[in-house]
Amino acid sequence: MSRLKLSTTSWTTQTAFIMAATGSAVGLGNLWKFPYITGENGGGAFVLVYLLCVLLIGLPVLIAEITLGRRGGANPPQALSNLAKESKASKWWWLLGLNGLLAGCLILSFYTVIAGWGVAYFFESLSGDFINISAKSVSTNFSSLIANPWQLAFWHTVAMLITVYIVSKGVKGGLEKAVNIMMPGLFIILLILLGYAASTDAFAESFHFLFYPDFSKLTWQGVLVAMGHAFFTLSVGMGTMMVYGSYLSKDYSIPRAGLWIALIDTLVALIAGLVIFSVVFANHLHAGSGPGLLFQTLPVAFGKMSGGWFFGTLFFALVVLAALSSAISLIEPAASWLEQNWGIKRLKATVILGLLTWVLGLGTVLSFNEWKSVHFIGDRTLFDSLDFLTTNIMLPLGGLLMAVFVAWVMTQQQRDDEMEMPSPWKDFYRNVLKFITPTAILIVFIYNLL
Ligand code: PFF
């Protein structure tokens, strides 16, 4: 870890960086996970805690992570090694980068399984299966999909192959162009769906569920989930934003980029929540039904609305694209590490990583059927364990250490150089990153250990 290896690629434009970073942030976490964890944790109060976590923990760490990437100028382990050298800090900081690479591969292993559900639904919607479908049939349809390991493995393979193919082509050529079209597209479709949801009788109930906090429904477990999700949804704590930041030119304001990414990401999650809960309540479905929520509600809505075949198919296409633009970013830190530090060609690097994560993903596939009652961490299935380990432990731990590095190890001069934060915000940001962010993460951690 002593050589100074620098990222040689850079984004074509600054907007390309925003689009790619937003492409990474906006994904299954917004469209699939946020609605279902909100449903499981009772709505409004959870959403409020989540918003606070994004503002006080997620956003500061996001800005810190991009800063580390741009100043470190390389893949996460190398960037941290470079920065530690610059600051004369311990050389062991590179392990923080390694934690990120590992977390990325673990997340990817289950991410492509869920993305696979999206691919399956895209084809079902395309073939007209959802036209006039009842809520009950959708639910049966979903149960039989996840009960069938062969089918799940097939779609998981499809999602992984596409991911590996795109990453092997490099970030710039494929991803950059794709996200520039995908992200506005996703936003337009979401707004159309919001319009549809607003026209249903259940919209008010959905709005109430999301935005009127009932603190009696909030548990400490819920706070932990909200914090973990703030990291997950913004793609922070694992090095994606670091490696993307290493491709960012010096003349762009990192705080401004961070604000945009967090704002768009949060809006997408809230709109997705409003849409999904409108459908849930309109069809008397159960808000806390868990990971199947998105897949058991939207087909019902599409089946009923005029033009539903078109919008439904388009929506699931966008779920897939949003998932893929995130999946790519999960593998990018590890791919660039293998490339920059180990001299392995990108194609070979992504195939190796794809193969390893694909095999691990088969465990997640089985956790929905054959291994349903096999428990790993506590009473969690393999899927739940991987999700818990990465989202609630590895990402927050990564985020905590990144905050510590930027706030305590880097000097004010270095921070000023890199971030160009406007004066009134500079001290505020430093104090949040120095005290509030680490304390919040630690409190939740300790609770978690107890
Ligand atoms: N932010 C993505 C989502 O919300 O779906 C998931 C993710 C992507 C997490 C990339 C972490 C990451 F590095």
Contact 66, 250 (CB under 8 A): no
Choose which residue among 36, 75, 329 to substitute to test ligand 1 binding: the one with the highest number of ligand atoms within 8 A of its C-beta. 329
CB of residue 329 inside a 6 A radius of ligand 1: yes
Distance 358 CA to ligand 1 centre (A): 17
> What pLDDT is recorded for position 66?
97
> What pLDDT is recorded for position 81?
96
The helix-helix angle for 94-126 and 293-304 (nearest 10°) equals 30
Contact 319, 299 (CB under 8 A): no
What CA–CA distance (Å, rounded) separates 450 from 448? 6
DSSP string, 301-370: HHHHSTTHHHHHHHHHHHHHHHHHHHHHHHHHHHHHHHHHHH---HHHHHHHHHHHHHHHHHHHHHHTTT
Q: What are the domain boundaries of the chain?
A: 14-449
What CA–CA distance (Å, rounded) separates 383 from 310? 32
Dmax (CA) for the chain in angstroms is 65
Residue nearest atom 7 in ligand 1 by C-alpha distance: 235
What CA–CA distance (Å, rounded) separates 254 from 283? 44
Contact 333, 75 (CB under 8 A): yes
> What pLDDT is recorded for position 259?
95
What CA–CA distance (Å, rounded) separates 39 from 315? 21
CB of residue 104 inside a 6 A radius of ligand 1: yes
CB of residue 28 inside a 6 A radius of ligand 1: yes
Is the domain 14-449 a CATH 1.20.1740 member? Answer: yes
Residue nearest atom 12 in ligand 1 by C-alpha distance: 235
DSSP string, 8-54: ----SSHHHHHHHHHHHHSSHIIIIIHHHHHHHTTSHHHHHHHHHHI
> What pLDDT is recorded for position 45?
96
Distance 161 CA to ligand 1 centre (A): 18
Distance 264 CA to ligand 1 centre (A): 14
Kindly report, residue by residue over 113-151, the tens digit of the pLDDT.
Answer: 999 999 999 999 999 999 999 989 998 999 999 999 999
Residues of the chain scoring pLDDT < 50: 1, 3
> What pLDDT is recorded for position 357?
98
> What pLDDT is recorded for position 2?
52
Choose which residue among 30, 102, 179, 232 to substitute to test ligand 1 binding: the one with the highest number of ligand atoms within 8 A of its C-beta. 232
Return the ligand 1 atom nearest residue 326 CA: 8
The helix-helix angle for 254-282 and 59-72 (nearest 10°) equals 140
